[in-house]
Amino acid sequence: MLMLGTDSHTPNAGGLGMLAIGVGGADAVDALTGTPWELKAPQIVGIKLTGELTGWATPKDLILHLAGKLTVRGGTGRILEYFGPGVFNQSCTGLATVANMGAEVGATTSTFPYTAGMRSYLTATGRAPVARAADQAASRGFLQADEGAEYDELIEINLSELEPSINGPFTPDLATPLSKFGQFIREQGWKDELSAGLIGSCTNSSYQDMTSVADLARQAKQAGLKAKARLIFTRSQIPFLCTPGSEQIRATMERDKVTDALEEVGATVLANACGPCIGQWKRDEKQDEENAILTSFNRNFKSRNDGNSKTMNFLASPTVVTAMAFSGKLSFNPITDSITLPSGKQFKFQPPRGQDLPSTGFTPGRTAFYPSPVPEPQPETEVVIRKESQRLELLQPFESHFGPHNPRGLELPTCKVLMRVRGKCTTDHISAAGPWLKYKGHLTNISENLLITAVNDEGGDVNVAFDHDHPPSKSETDTIPGIARRFKSRNQPWTLVVDDNYGEGSAREHAALQPRFYGAAMIIARSFARIHETNLKKQGILPLWFVDKTDYARIGSGDVLETYGLEDLLNGKGQAQITIRVTKRNGDIFEIQTRHTMSKDQLNWLRAGSALNHIRSKIQQA
């Protein structure tokens, strides 16, 4: 089954054997309106699993290890298909954890063959008829890879040899085996100190995860490790925050005393929501201070969790996070190390034991929170937004780049370069989350966070851009959104020059809406992340790839860029190449070659100014 979801972690459903692909919100509109949805045919990477996870190794460690092998770009334009005997002794939610974090290597999606664990999970969650149908399909040879299937790349992993990994900081692919992590901390000269432990969110928040963590909590309590002021008792007394994955998990944890076990050792069990993973964490301590946190989340981009760029955020399994939270030390290895108790005795954790599914079934919890499965349309409902609202505003259609105002015809209007972005630039850098999320419905206000944590390659400063045409009343430098506002006020179309894997991370529509709102017409990258590139196309921004990646460094702020060849492309010459003529601020002129991934339909979006404009015009013509 193919599933589209408006979240980059939609591949979580790969844990149930689905082909679940994350898309932007505008792509979802395509599916809802019957508009064809396009995807460039991906390569298939086969990942053969043998052996069995033992001890402290978990499915999270499998994907952390794989992220280290593939890097954040290694899955781009590829589907990860797992197979082999090692698949079949893992739980359904464990497979979902692996599929979920496949987004962090850029994979289009991840999927598994149908397993007995999936059948058990479907039955336990009230979907026994689906399980029976899947059994029948599997008996006929479906829901698994074809015999003798060939892959574009084959990776083999022996789960019996896998040890826990800790990844980070600031990128999910910097993987270090747990046995070497203490040495890594010492080599970097960092404090051997943990300031917070966080588990849960959309991954690693299953019943199996939470019961495994509760097992460690009970071991600690029995040994005499007690809480003080709702903080785990350690030498540093650090916060330990747990986020259940759903209302069903929250309610079942509460019923089965899992919540009690966690709270008795000082954990704070939060609401089942994105929470600190997406920056919804009002953290008062450690602000503007270098510190280290350990989470079982999927992403650890700079400033993501607490808004502090100096917080080093590391990723690990929930059980490793929990054990290290009791220790308070980054160098602590629960497999080999002990904790000194208040009595002076030594305490060593035993490998955690969790329960895949609750023996008495799940409880749904507060069903009033669940949406209606088949809501009745209410077309007569009037949407009223106060003019003075700071949270909501009506979106205005973006103007097409082409028309009487553009003397260049079907070439883009002449663009100025706003800035050259250095290094990693995720959708968190482009449109920060956390406290900014309250403005998601107000494009003018949320655009004030455009690229505020991005690094300008010309000078190396964060959130600094240059206006080389500034009037005497203005300074040459300002914040990035400040310079973008100036360009917009002058009706000056602009472009960004960006590095590899631009736009990795969340399927955040605002990361495309905001630059378009301020007047961006084109972004030229060494490479793009898939979802973000499509989101740019949807909003009428032309994404181009450098043919020669070294050309990135030849273009700077204030340079004038002109496209040549776009007119041929828009007129149906499919093989046309887009050349960029660069006029430097000193008058030097040269040309660079680019490539594109624009389809015929996507070119129609560009011509119309956005995909929504194009859809509207088709409806009006019908």
| Domain shared by 263 and 328, yes or no | yes
Angstrom distance (rounded) from CA 416 to CA 469:
10
| Cβ(145)–Cβ(44) below 8 Å | no
Q: Which of 161, 196, 222 is the last residue of a domain?
A: 161
Are 94 and 108 in the same domain? yes
pLDDT at 235 over 60: no
pLDDT in tens, 304-354: 999 999 999 999 999 999 999 999 999 999 999 999 988 899 999 999 999
Q: What does the DSSP 8-state code read for residue 1? A: -
Per-residue pLDDT band for 230 (boundaries 50, 70, 90) equals very low
Here the CATH number for the domain that contains residue 81 is 3.40.1060.10
What's the rounded Cα separation, in Å, for the pair 267 and 202?
19
- Of 341, 360, 392, which residue is a domain's last? 341
> Are 23 and 146 part of one and the same domain?
yes
**Phi and psi (nearest 5°) for 51?**
75, -165
CB 498 within 8 A of CB 425: yes
Q: What pLDDT is recorded for position 237?
A: 64
pLDDT greater than 70 at residue 232: no
Three-state SS sequence of 117-140: HHHHHHHHCCCHHHHHHHHHHHHC
pLDDT (tens digit per residue) in 573-595: 878 999 999 999 999 999 999 99
**Quick check: is 212 in a domain?**
yes
Average pLDDT over residues 153-176: 97
Instruction: Tell me the residue range of the domain where 573 lies.
Output: 415-621
User: Do 173 and 148 fall into the same domain?
Assistant: no
In a domain, 357, yes or no: no
- 138 and 199: one domain? no
The answer to the question of residue 270 being in a domain is yes
pLDDT of residue 29: 81
Task: Flag whether 358 is in a domain.
Answer: no
How far is the C-alpha of 191 from the C-alpha of 170, rounded, in Å? 17
Point out the domain boundary residue: 310, 341, 372: 341
d(CA 563, CA 570): 12
Same domain assignment for residues 528 and 445: yes
**Mean pLDDT across 611-621:** 90
Q: Annotate 485-523 with DSSP letters as a single string.
A: HHHHHTT--EEEEE-TTBT-SS--THHHHHHHHTTEEEE
The confidence band for 462, taking pLDDT boundaries of 50, 70 and 90, is: very high
Quick one: 108 and 196 in the same domain? no
- Please write the tens of the pLDDT for every residue from 490-534: 999 999 999 999 999 988 999 999 999 999 999 999 999 999 999
Residue 234: pLDDT over 60: no
Report residue 192's pLDDT band, with 50, 70 and 90 as the boundaries: very high
pLDDT tens-digit profile of 417-429? 999 999 999 999 9
Tokens of 470: 């500034």
- Express each pLDDT in 387-421 by its tens digit: 999 999 999 999 999 999 999 999 999 999 999 99
Q: pLDDT tens-digit profile of 267-299?
A: 999 999 888 988 889 898 898 999 999 999 999
Query: Is 583 found in the same domain as 448?
Result: yes
Residue 308 lies in a domain: yes
pTM: 0.92
Residue 283, CA atoms < 13 Å, CB-side half-sphere: 29
> Number of structural domains, the chain?
3
pLDDT per residue over 46-94, tens digit each?
999 999 999 999 999 999 999 999 999 999 999 999 999 999 999 999 9
How far out from the chain centre does Cα 326 lie?
Answer: 28
* Residues of the chain above pLDDT 90, percent: 85
- How many Å apart are CA 39 and CA 2, to the nearest integer? 12
> Looking at residue 231, what DSSP letter applies?
B
CA–CA dist 350, 102 (Å, integer): 30
Is there a single domain that holds both residue 65 and residue 118? yes
pLDDT at position 279 is 86
3-state helix, strand and coil shares in percent for the chain, rounded to the nearest 5: 35, 20, 50
pLDDT at residue 27 greater than cutoff 90:
no
> SS3 for 258?
helix
Are 455 and 574 found together in one domain? yes
Instruction: Tell me the C-alpha distance between 573 and 565, whole Å.
Output: 9
| C-alpha distances out from residue 585 to 420, 422, 485, 554, Å | 15, 20, 21, 12
374 contact partners, CB below 8 Å, separation of at least 6: none
Question: Does a structural domain hold residue 296?
Answer: yes
Q: If we measure between CA atoms, which residue out of 165, 166, 246, 233 comes closest to residue 200?
A: 246
CA dihedral 107, 108, 114, 117 (to 10 degrees): 50
Average pLDDT of the residues of the chain? 94
Same-domain status, 153 and 234: no
Q: Answer yes or no: is pLDDT of 226 > 80.
A: no
Q: Give the domain CATH number at 208.
A: 3.30.499.10
Whether 314 contacts 294, CB under 8 Å? yes
pLDDT at 370 over 90: no
d(CA 590, CA 579): 10
Residue 186 DSSP symbol: H
Q: What is the pLDDT of residue 227?
A: 39
* 564 in the same domain as 475: yes
Better pLDDT: 203 or 230: 203
